[in-house]
C-alpha cells in the first residue's frame, strides 16, 4: 500500500514536470466483458487503483451481437433443491462472483438457456450496481513498454487510445476475449458469408441449399436456425464432430444445437463431411450457384474457359459427395485473440495462434506484469476444463487477483487455520459445495498446508495447481510439513471423442475401487514436501500433478453428494490418518476420560476437545448405540446387581452380550451407490 502511494507520488511528480501527458493507474484492465468486470470487482473490493478500458459505450459488447441467434448455451439452472449459495453456483454458469445476492443471473432470466440480451443487461447492472470504474468508448489501439527500474515489474505499460490519449499502468490485465473471426482463404472464398453478418431470418433461406464451413457450436447453431426451411444443409470441417457430453468439455458441440446430427443420421438430406478447408475452392456458375471443387484443379485450369473450363470433382468421380451446387456458403469458424495492439510483446500459442501464450499463473510468457484473463486465457486448459467460459474464468480471475495481492501489496493468499481434528470435515465441506473446484476441475485446487507436528493445518482455496511449485512465493504462505492438494477429476480413460460414455457399469459404487471412478469426483494428493518446478515440468502427461506420496479418490457419486459416512468419509479419514500417522476418530467424553486416566497420550480429538473442557458428552441414546456397535464399552452392566440401574437397561445388557458374540456390522454394503437399479 505504502509502496503504491509512493509510486503514485513519484508519478504525479513526473506528470507535473510535464514529461508526458498520461494518466497513471496501478492496474489497467482491457475490456469490460465478463472477465474485465470480474477483475474490476476484485480490484475495487481490495481498494486498488485501477481502470477498465472499453471500446464500446457499454459493457459486454460481444454479447450485444453474439451469439447471432441470441441463445446462450450456458445453463441458468434456477432450482437445485438446495439453498447453499456456493453449491448453486455449480449450476449457474452465467453469474459473476460478487457479494451482492441481487447480481445472480437467475434474477435476469427464467430460461434454462437464456437470451443473450439478458447477459447484456446483467453485465450493465453488474458494472453500475458495484460502481466499477470503466472508461467507455475508449479503444486501446497500442500498447508499449517503458523500462523503469522503479516500476513493479521493471517496466510500465503505456497504452494509447484512439484519441492518442496515453495511459500508464504498472500492471496490465487483458480481458479482451477472442473476437477476431477466423477466416480461411481459398479460391472463391469471396462468395462465403461470415457468421458475423449472415442473416438470422430463416425465411431468407427458404428453399435454399446451404453449405456451412465449421463444426463448432456457432456452425450448428446456424444450421439449427434454418434446418426447417432449407432444401438441405451440408457441413464441412477438417475435424470430426466432438460432442460435449462425450468429452465433458463445454466448448464442444452441445446437445441443444445438435439437430443436424439427427437429420443426417436419419437420412433426411442434411449431412456432415470431413475435409481440409485449405484444399477447397468454390466456383460460381452463371445461375449464381456455388460449386465445390478442389484448389488442385484450379491451379491447372484453362483461364480463358471460365466456369466451363474448371474441372469439378464429379467430372472424374461421378458420385462425388458434394456434387450438388449450393445457394449459399456460410463460414462459422470461431474467433481468435486480437494480437495486433501489443507490438510483439505477446506471442501466440504455437501454430494455432488462437490464444496468447501464458503461464499457468495467467501471466504472459513474454512480458512480466501482463496477465490474460477470461476467454483469451483458455490456452491453460483448452479442451480440458472451463477456463474459457464465464463459469470457469470467474474463478481463475479471482485466483489472479489473489496472486497480485500477494505480489504487489503483501497481502498473502486468504487462508484459515484449523486444528487437525477438523481436517476431514474441511475437505468434505469443500468437495461438497465449492463451485470453483467443481467447474475448474484439474486446474484449480484447494491446498492444505500442514503445520509442524500435524496438530493444525492451513486451508487455501482454489489455487492454480500449475504453479504448485511456486506456492510459497506466490501465496506468502509456508509449507513446512507437507501438504494435501484437493482437486476434482474425471476418470482418465472415460470420456473423449471416440468413447462410449454410456456403457454398462460405467459408474463405480465401491469405495475400494474409487480410483476407477469415471465421473467428476474429488481426488486428494499428499506430498511430504512441496514438489519442485522440475517435478512439475516432468509430471506424467495424464496427470495434473507430479506423482504424490499417497493419493486418495473419493468414489464418484450419482448425486455429487459426498457425505456418506461409510462410503465417502470413512475411507477419506483412513487416508488422512495414514498420511499423518495419527488417529482422527471422534470420541465421546467417556472414552476420553478413560484414555486420560489410562494412557499417557490422548488422541487428537480428546486432546483438542475433552482436555480443553470441550468434551462431547453425547446423549444417553447415542452412547447406547455406540455400545451396541461394540465401539464403546458399557461398564455399568458388569455391576448388574447394582441398585442404580433401571429395568429398561436390561435390554441393552442382553444386546451387549449378543453383540460380543456376533459383532453387528454396518449395512453400508447394501446401499447401492450406482446409477442403476
Site for other proteins in 475-514 (CB under 8 A): 492-493, 498, 500, 503-514
d(CA 135, CA 52): 6
- Residue 581 as a binder of other proteins (CB under 8 A): the answer is yes
CB atoms near residue 246 (< 10 Å): 19
DSSP type of residue 427: H
Choosing from 90, 331, 407, 573, the residue that interacts with other proteins (CB under 8 A) is: 573
Q: Which residue, 58 or 602, has its beta carbon nearer to other proteins?
A: 602
CA dihedral 552, 558, 562, 563 (to 10 degrees): -140
Write out the H or E segment, with its range, that includes residue 446.
strand 444-450
- Residue 583 as a binder of other proteins (CB under 8 A): the answer is yes
- Residue 672 as a binder of other proteins (CB under 8 A): the answer is yes
Choosing from 429, 539, 649, 653, the residue that interacts with other proteins (CB under 8 A) is: 429
Q: Which residue, 37 or 511, has its beta carbon nearer to other proteins?
A: 511
Q: Which residue, 248 or 328, has its beta carbon nearer to other proteins?
A: 248
CA dihedral 203, 209, 210, 215 (to 10 degrees): 120
Scanning 53-61, 318-326, 386-394, 635-643 for contacts with other proteins by CB under 8 A, the matching segment is 635-643
Site for other proteins in 81-140 (CB under 8 A): 82-86
Q: In angstroms, give the least distance from the CB of 652 to other proteins.
A: 13
CA dihedral 594, 600, 604, 609 (to 10 degrees): 50
- Residue 231 as a binder of other proteins (CB under 8 A): the answer is no
- Residue 432 as a binder of other proteins (CB under 8 A): the answer is yes
Scanning 226-234, 237-245, 296-304, 614-622 for contacts with other proteins by CB under 8 A, the matching segment is 614-622
- Residue 570 as a binder of other proteins (CB under 8 A): the answer is yes
Q: Which residue, 150 or 599, has its beta carbon nearer to other proteins?
A: 599
DSSP string, 230-298: SSEEEEEESSPP-BHHHH--TTSB-GGGTHHHHHHHTTSS-EEEE--GGGEEEEE-TTS-EEEEEHHHH
Short-list 253, 33, 2, CA closest to 127: 33
- Residue 242 as a binder of other proteins (CB under 8 A): the answer is no
Q: In angstroms, give the least distance from the CB of 591 to other proteins.
A: 7
Scanning 40-48, 167-175, 541-549, 651-659 for contacts with other proteins by CB under 8 A, the matching segment is 541-549
- Residue 528 as a binder of other proteins (CB under 8 A): the answer is no
- Residue 267 as a binder of other proteins (CB under 8 A): the answer is no
Beta strand 180-181 with 290-294 is unpaired
Choosing from 285, 470, 489, 577, the residue that interacts with other proteins (CB under 8 A) is: 577
One character per residue 51-90, x = contact with other proteins (rule: CB under 8 A): -------------------------------xxxxx----
Q: In angstroms, give the least distance from the CB of 413 to other proteins.
A: 17
CB 650 within 8 A of CB 620: no
Choosing from 291, 398, 402, 553, the residue that interacts with other proteins (CB under 8 A) is: 553
Choosing from 14, 256, 454, 550, the residue that interacts with other proteins (CB under 8 A) is: 550
Place of cell 509430471: 539
CB 24 within 8 A of CB 167: yes
Choosing from 298, 324, 469, 589, the residue that interacts with other proteins (CB under 8 A) is: 589
Choosing from 255, 273, 629, 657, the residue that interacts with other proteins (CB under 8 A) is: 629
The residues, ordered by sequence, that sit 6+ positions from 346 with a Cβ below 8 Å of its Cβ are 174, 339, 356, 357, 364, 366, 367, 370, 372
- Residue 435 as a binder of other proteins (CB under 8 A): the answer is no
Q: Which residue, 23 or 616, has its beta carbon nearer to other proteins?
A: 616
Q: Is the N-terminal amide bond of 67 cis, ω within 30° of 0?
A: yes
Q: In angstroms, give the least distance from the CB of 235 to other proteins.
A: 26
Short-list 272, 217, 218, CA closest to 244: 217
Choosing from 266, 613, 661, 662, the residue that interacts with other proteins (CB under 8 A) is: 613
d(CA 309, CA 90): 59
CB 257 within 8 A of CB 221: yes
CB 520 within 8 A of CB 490: yes
Q: In angstroms, give the least distance from the CB of 641 to other proteins.
A: 11
Choosing from 352, 365, 528, 669, the residue that interacts with other proteins (CB under 8 A) is: 669
Q: Where are the beta strands (DSSP E) in 318-422?
A: 328-331, 335-336, 370-372, 415-419
> What's phi and psi for 236, nearest 5 deg?
-115, 140
d(CA 72, CA 29): 25
- Residue 598 as a binder of other proteins (CB under 8 A): the answer is yes
The number of residues that bind other proteins (CB under 8 A) is 107
The residues, ordered by sequence, that sit 6+ positions from 182 with a Cβ below 8 Å of its Cβ are 333, 334, 335, 336, 354
Q: In angstroms, give the least distance from the CB of 434 to other proteins.
A: 10
- Residue 13 as a binder of other proteins (CB under 8 A): the answer is no
Site for other proteins in 367-426 (CB under 8 A): 416, 418-419, 422, 425
Amino acid at each position: 500500500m505504502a509502496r503504491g502511494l509512493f509510486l503514485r507520488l513519484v508519478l504525479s511528480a513526473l506528470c507535473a514536470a510535464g514529461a508526458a501527458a498520461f494518466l497513471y493507474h496501478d492496474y489497467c484492465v482491457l475490456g469490460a466483458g465478463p472477465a474485465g468486470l470480474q477483475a474490476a470487482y476484485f480490484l475495487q473490493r481490495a481498494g486498488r487503483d485501477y481502470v477498465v478500458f472499453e471500446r464500446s459505450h457499454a459493457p459486454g459488447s460481444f454479447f450485444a451481437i453474439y451469439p447471432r441467434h441470441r441463445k446462450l448455451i450456458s445453463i441458468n439452472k434456477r432450482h437445485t433443491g438446495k439453498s447453499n449459495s456456493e453449491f448453486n453456483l455449480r449450476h449457474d454458469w452465467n453469474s459473476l462472483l460478487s457479494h451482492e445476492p441481487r447480481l445472480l443471473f437467475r434474477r435476469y432470466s427464467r430460461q434454462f438457456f437464456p437470451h443473450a440480451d439478458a447477459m447484456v443487461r446483467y453485465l450493465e447492472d453488474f458494472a453500475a450496481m458495484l460502481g466499477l470504474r470503466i472508461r467507455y468508448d475508449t479503444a486501446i489501439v497500442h500498447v508499449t513498454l517503458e523500462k523503469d527500474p522503479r516500476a513493479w515489474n521493471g517496466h510500465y505499460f503505456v497504452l494509447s487510445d484512439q484519441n492518442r490519449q496515453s495511459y500508464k499502468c504498472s500492471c496490465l490485465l487483458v480481458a479482451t476475449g477472442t473476437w477476431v473471426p477466423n477466416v480461411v482463404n481459398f479460391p472463391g472464398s469471396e462468395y462465403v458469408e461470415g457468421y458475423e453478418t449472415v442473416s438470422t431470418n430463416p425465411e431468407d433461406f427458404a428453399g435454399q441449399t446451404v453449405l456451412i464451413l465449421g463444426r463448432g457450436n456457432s456452425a450448428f447453431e446456424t444450421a439449427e436456425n434454418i434446418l426447417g426451411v432449407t432444401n438441405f444443409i451440408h457441413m464441412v470441417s477438417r475435424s470430426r464432430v466432438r460432442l460435449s457430453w462425450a468429452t465433458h468439455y463445454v466448448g464442444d458441440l452441445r446437445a441443444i444445437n445438435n439437430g443436424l446430427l439427427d437429420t443426417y443420421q436419419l437420412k433426411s438430406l442434411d449431412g456432415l463431411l470431413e475435409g481440409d478447408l485449405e484444399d477447397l475452392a468454390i466456383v460460381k456458375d452463371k445461375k449464381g450457384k456455388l460449386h465445390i471443387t478442389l484448389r488442385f484443379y484450379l491451379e491447372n485450369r484453362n483461364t480463358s474457359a471460365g466456369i466451363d473450363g474448371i474441372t469439378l470433382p464429379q467430372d472424374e468421380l461421378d458420385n462425388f459427395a458434394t456434387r450438388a451446387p449450393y445457394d449459399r456458403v456460410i463460414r462459422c469458424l470461431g474467433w481468435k485473440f486480437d494480437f495486433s495492439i501489443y507490438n510483439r510483446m505477446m506471442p501466440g500459442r504455437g501454430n494455432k495462434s488462437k490464444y496468447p501464450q501464458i503461464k499457468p499463473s495467467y501471466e504472459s510468457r513474454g512480458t512480466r506484469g501482463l496477465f490474460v484473463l477470461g476467454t483469451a486465457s483458455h490456452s491453460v486448459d483448452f479442451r480440458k476444463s472451463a477456463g474459457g467460459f464465464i463459469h470457469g474464468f470467474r474463478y481463475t480471475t479471482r485466483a489472479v487477483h489473489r496472486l497480485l495481492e500477494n505480489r504487489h501489496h503483501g497481502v498473502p493468499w486468504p487462508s484459515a487455520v484449523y486444528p487437525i481434528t477438523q481436517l476431514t470435515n474441511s475437505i468434505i465441506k469443500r468437495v461438497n459445495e465449492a463451485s470453483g473446484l467443481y467447474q475448474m476441475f484439474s486446474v484449480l485446487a484447494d491446498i492444505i498446508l500442514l503445520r509442524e507436528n500435524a496438530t493444525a493445518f492451513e486451508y487455501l482455496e482454489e489455487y492454480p495447481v500449475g504453479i504448485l511449485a511456486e506456492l510459497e512465493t506466490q501465496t506468502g504462505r509456508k509449507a513446512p510439513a507437507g501438504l494435501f492438494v484437493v482437486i476434482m477429476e474425471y476418470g482418465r480413460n472415460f470420456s473423449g471423442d471416440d468413447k462410449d460414455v454410456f456403457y454398462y457399469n460405467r459408474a463405480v459404487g465401491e469405495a475400494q475401487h474409487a480410483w476407477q471412478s469415471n465421473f467428476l469426483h474429488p481426488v486428494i494428493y499428499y506430498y511430504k514436501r512441496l514438489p519442485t518446478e522440475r517435478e512439475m515440468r516432468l509430471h506424467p502427461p495424464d496427470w495434473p500433478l507430479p506423482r504424490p506420496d499417497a493419493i486418495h479418490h473419493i468414489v464418484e457419486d450419482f448425486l455429487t453428494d459426498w457425505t456418506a459416512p461409510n462410503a465417502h468419509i470413512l475411507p477419506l479419514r483412513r487416508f488422512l490418518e495414514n498420511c499423518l500417522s495419527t488417529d482422527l476418530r471422534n470420541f465421546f467424553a467417556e472414552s476420553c476420560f478413560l484414555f486420560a486416566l489410562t494412557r499417557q497420550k490422548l488422541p487428537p480429538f480428546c486432546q483438542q476437545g475433552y482436555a480443553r473442557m470441550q468434551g462431547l458428552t453425547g446423549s444417553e441414546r447415542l452412547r447406547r448405540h455406540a455400545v451396541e456397535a461394540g465401539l464403546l464399552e458399557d461398564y455399568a452392566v458388569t455391576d448388574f446387581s447394582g441398585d442404580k440401574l433401571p429395568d429398561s437397561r436390561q435390554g441393552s445388557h442382553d444386546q451387549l452380550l449378543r453383540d460380543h458374540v456376533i459383532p453387528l456390522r454396518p449395512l453400508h454394503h447394501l446401499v447401492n451407490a450406482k446409477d442403476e437399479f
